[in-house]
Structures are given as structure tokens and as C-alpha cells.
Copies of this chain bind each other. A is one copy, B any other.
Amino acid sequence: MKQIYPQQRSVTMEDVARDAGVSRALVSLVMRDSPNVSPAKRAAVLESAAALGYSPNKLASRLASHRTNTLGVLFLDLHNSVFADIHDGLTEGLAGSGNQVMVAVGSADPRTELEAVRSFVDLRVDGVLLAGYTGTPEELSAALRGTPAVVITRDMEVDGVDSVLTDDFRSGALAVEHLYGLGHRRIAHVDISDWLPYTERREGYRHAMTEHGLEPLLVHSDMTERGGRAVMEQFLDSGAQPPTAIFTHNDLTAIGVMEALAARGLSVPGDVAVVGCDNIEVAASPLIGLTSIDQHAKELGRLAAQAMLDRLGGTAGPRVVRKLQPALMVRRSSDPAA
């Protein structure tokens, strides 16, 4: 139930016009940032607007202009700080553009994700940015109903949808090269569920293993710390010979793996070397010291913001794909000398 406070009547454009001694139409021009207003009149209007506490009714102006200056952002998981890094980049990239960012969480559940996208579209956001979207291109395209979109961390072939990502295939290969160089031959990969569209880290791992004549060894987990701990405990319980090195799909999983190893008294990297992926803040902490593959998450956010602003400004052509090269960050979870 909305409460109505009649004493808090909104200040209208008419009020501002009266106060500034100009026409309502001129106030409207100033509010729409039209260039056809003299600096003096613009200043007078903005001064009156500020003095009266005038806040343009976005609902009304949106119905007229089809712009809400609001962007919807879908993140897979707030527990993974890689999305906080992407958010930092988005905020930086959008600074000064007057756009407000609204985040919804998809939880790797296509139904939840599409519901969020539909809500964004229903709220008439100007654009949608998705980081960690797990559904199909077709469903996304239908849910967007023509709303401009940028997909982050995934290359998705949808007309009018830009992609900004890091070369995940290279990330998988980098991890193997690093561990191979340290002398490891039994290198396992803690992968994600098969149905998820993020397959490139696995493929890069597989490819590099095969190149070296090594047998890929895959176990599956979700993308969480808890999941990494569980899969490693299971592995150790199974009695199978443990690998000498493990490359995980992301850092959270790697931290869980390290926890399970520590709980069994196995040393990292002495007994098992561990390499994560994402290079989140906690991985870089000297208390954890996790070797990881930097995805340049903040830069991804910045580039995605730029792509969105280009599209909203009408300067973007067809589909844009930006792919960054990942960087190996060596720490003591793989290399005691680091």
C-alpha cells in the first residue's frame, strides 16, 4: 500500500517556470538538455529547479522520451567478487553519463535470469548488460524485445548484442602450460556442470593436455567454495590416486579445494598444486596466495559500459566483440618460490 503524503506535493515544471520567470516549454527544454537554450536561461532554470527541489518525473518523461537513463545489469552470483570487480568497471565506464545501474542476480538459473531481463525490459531500462548469463541466445533475444544489450564473459551471436569477454580457451591452456612447466603431469580440472555454456576453459585445458600427450582428468562441481570443498573431499575419499596439480574453473572453487586439502593435512603446493581462474581479490590476498588467471574483470566492465554507451548514442554499428587476453598470476599455491 503506497502511502500518500499530501503535504509532500511534487514540485512541477510549472512551479519551476514561475520561479525562474520563463515558460514551461523552456523548462522542459532545459530538463531534456536541449542545446537550444541560452546559457543564462539554462542557469536560471537550473537554479530555480535546485531551490525548489524539482525532480523530473522519470515515469512521465520516459513515456515521452523513451529514455529512463537506467541500465539493468544481470550478475550470476554476488558471492563471487569477480562481479563486484565488473561492477566497479561498469561504474567507472558510465561515470558522468547520467545512467543509473540496477543489478539483478541470475543464480545460473535461466528461468530466474529471463525473468530479470523481462523485468528490466518492462521497467523500460535503456539497455541490459549481462555477466554470467547461462541461458540460450534465442531466449535472451526474445526477452530483450529489441532492448540494446551487452553480454560480458561470453561471446553470444545475437543481432545487436555486443560481447565483451576474456579468452577463456587461452586461460585453460595457460594454466596447463604453467603447471606442466613446473613438472606436473597428473593435472586435473575441476569443471562446471556440462549444461552450462561456459566451456572454453575446459576446452583450453583439454587441448593443452592433449598437446603434451597427457590424459585430461575432469571432475565436476558448481562454481562455489562449498562445491570445490565437496568435490575434493569426495575425490580424496574415493581412494583414487590424487593428481599432483588441480586447475579449477574459478577461484572460489579453488579456495574450496585448498580447504579440503588442508583439512586432510595435504600441503599446497607440496602435495597438490592449485591454480584458480578469475583472479578475485581474495585469491590475491597473501593469506590465500592462490595462483590464478586474471580475467581483467574491471576492464571487462569498463569496455562493456563503453559498448553500451556507443550503442545508446547510436554510434555502434552491427555486433561488436571485444576479447581480452588473460594473464597468469603466479602465487604460492603453485610455486613455493612465488
A103 at the interface (CB under 8 A from B): yes
A4 at the interface (CB under 8 A from B): yes
- Distance in angstroms between the alpha carbons of A49 and B70 in the assembled complex: 29
- Distance in angstroms between the alpha carbons of A111 and B75 in the assembled complex: 24
User: With A104-B103, A148-B3, A259-B286 as given contacts, are A123 and B55 in contact (CB-CB < 8 Å)?
Assistant: no
- Distance in angstroms between the alpha carbons of A87 and B246 in the assembled complex: 31
A101 at the interface (CB under 8 A from B): yes
Is there an interface contact between A123 and B70, defined as CB atoms closer than 8 Å? yes
Q: From A86, which residue of chain B is reached at the shortest CB distance? A: B78
Which B residues are CB-close (under 8 A) to A160? 3
A215 at the interface (CB under 8 A from B): no
Chain A interface size, under 10 / 10 to 19 / 20 to 34 / 35 or more = 35 or more
A167 at the interface (CB under 8 A from B): no
- Distance in angstroms between the alpha carbons of A103 and B72 in the assembled complex: 10
Is there an interface contact between A70 and B2, defined as CB atoms closer than 8 Å? no
- Distance in angstroms between the alpha carbons of A145 and B311 in the assembled complex: 34
Task: Report A204 CB to chain B, min CB distance, Å.
Answer: 27
A263 at the interface (CB under 8 A from B): yes
- A residues 286-300 in Cβ contact with B at 8 Å: 286-288
Is there an interface contact between A285 and B78, defined as CB atoms closer than 8 Å? no
- Distance in angstroms between the alpha carbons of A91 and B57 in the assembled complex: 29
A47 at the interface (CB under 8 A from B): no
Is there an interface contact between A285 and B103, defined as CB atoms closer than 8 Å? no
A18 at the interface (CB under 8 A from B): no
Is there an interface contact between B100 and A119, defined as CB atoms closer than 8 Å? yes
Which B residues are CB-close (under 8 A) to A313? 1
Task: Report A9 CB to chain B, min CB distance, Å.
Answer: 10
Task: Report A50 CB to chain B, min CB distance, Å.
Answer: 14
Q: What mask results when residues 118 to 135 of chain A are scored 1 for a CB within 8 Å of chain B, else 0?
A: 110011101000000000
Is there an interface contact between A122 and B287, defined as CB atoms closer than 8 Å? no
19 chain-A/chain-B pairs, Cβ below 8 angstroms: A1-B148, A2-B146, A3-B146, A3-B147, A3-B148, A3-B160, A5-B145, A8-B145, A58-B123, A59-B123, A59-B124, A78-B78, A87-B105, A91-B105, A102-B104, A103-B103, A255-B285, A258-B287, A287-B287
